[in-house]
Amino acid sequence: MERFLLIFWILSGWLILSLCLEHQYYFVENKMTWYQAQSYCRQHYTDLATIRNSEDMNHFLDVLSAQSSSDVWIGLYSEINWMWSNELEERNPGYTNWESTDNDPDFISANQFCVCMGDNGRWWDYNCEAKFPFVCYTGTPGGCKFVVINETMSWSEAQRYCRDNFIDLADIGNSTDNQQVQQLVPTGNWAWTGLYREENIYWSDQSSLSFTKWDHISNPIGSRGIICGATSEARLAKWRFLDCYTTRSFVCYRFREQVMRRRVKIKVKSDSSAILTDPNLQNKILRKLQEKLQENAPLKFVQQPDGKIFHKEKEKKRTEL
């Protein structure tokens, strides 16, 4: 194991103080990827724009309407972590059969986290609260057997039913499984499968996502592992997701009032294979720190004079007695 030195800022103030602070938004016309925009905002302001409530939304829209009608980056992002109901850990399914390889999953209104199958054998991501028939599976001496339940339930209700009466919701590992499940789907309907993902939607500064303003629009995911938030004046600052590596203008924020800051130096251990310059890994570390410190104020890393955040700690020489 290697040890690294990690330096980060904690904006001062406890929960009450941070909620009273007003955000000041700044439009940056330069076009960058979401990650480049995040780095720029953290260096020159506080972070990419966070919108915590309707008052923030009005301030944000005032800035945006005076600058741009095209999509701009904000601080939202979502990690994509598909997994089967019978699994304890996330993994990308090795076999998929989405309705469209270009647009699906389409994540309409940022509210589709469960997967159903149509009677054509194709998969759709859908609102988990919708009620459909569903397919369970059970083990047999000859292998796996699929069973259709024609009663309509939400995805979580269907999961509970399958676990109580069989093994779990259908796990589809290959085209043969897919064909068997397809034959059970009621004609003209959809049926729940066991594929789903956690919400995993975050703000760049790790603020809680207590206020949302999603646009009723498709957010194509495809095979991406991360999608990033954008909005525009044309859609009244309602939010959507885009490919993080497209280049767009963006909006940063900082607090309108002067804020005390605390600099904290800590030591962390990291697997030698971890790529500590990866912005996605850095965001995960920030989330863990936020949980441990129970801070609602934003956290961010600060680059040291050599441009690095992490430094490998020098081993101390032992003095022999």
Chosen domain end from 139, 174, 196: 196
Q: What burial letters (b/e) apply to 101-128, b meaning 16+ CB within 10 Å? A: eeebbbbbbbbbbbbbbeeebbbbbbeb
- Token couple for 131: 């009620």
Host domain of residue 130:
83-196
Residue 96 sits in the same domain as residue 153: yes
Chosen domain end from 145, 175, 196: 196
* Per-residue pLDDT of the chain in tens (321 residues, 90 and over written 9): 334 344 443 333 222 233 346 789 999 999 999 999 999 999 999 999 999 999 999 999 999 887 767 899 999 999 999 999 988 666 667 899 999 877 789 999 999 999 999 999 999 999 999 999 999 999 865 567 999 999 999 999 999 999 999 999 999 999 999 999 999 999 999 999 999 999 999 999 989 899 999 999 999 998 899 999 999 998 889 999 999 999 999 999 998 654 445 556 656 566 655 566 777 777 777 666 666 665 555 666 666 666 666 666 655 555 444
Residue 118 sits in the same domain as residue 250: no
Residue 69 sits in the same domain as residue 90: no
**What span, in angstroms and rounded, lies between the C-alpha atoms of 87 and 81?**
12
Residue 177 sits in the same domain as residue 133: yes
**What span, in angstroms and rounded, lies between the C-alpha atoms of 141 and 194?**
22
Q: Does residue 319 lie within any of the structural domains? A: no
Q: How many domains does the chain have?
A: 2
**What span, in angstroms and rounded, lies between the C-alpha atoms of 123 and 102?**
13
Chosen domain end from 196, 225, 240: 196
Between the alpha carbon of residue 103 and those of residues 31, 174, 221, the distances in Å are 25, 21, 7
Residue 67 sits in the same domain as residue 141: no
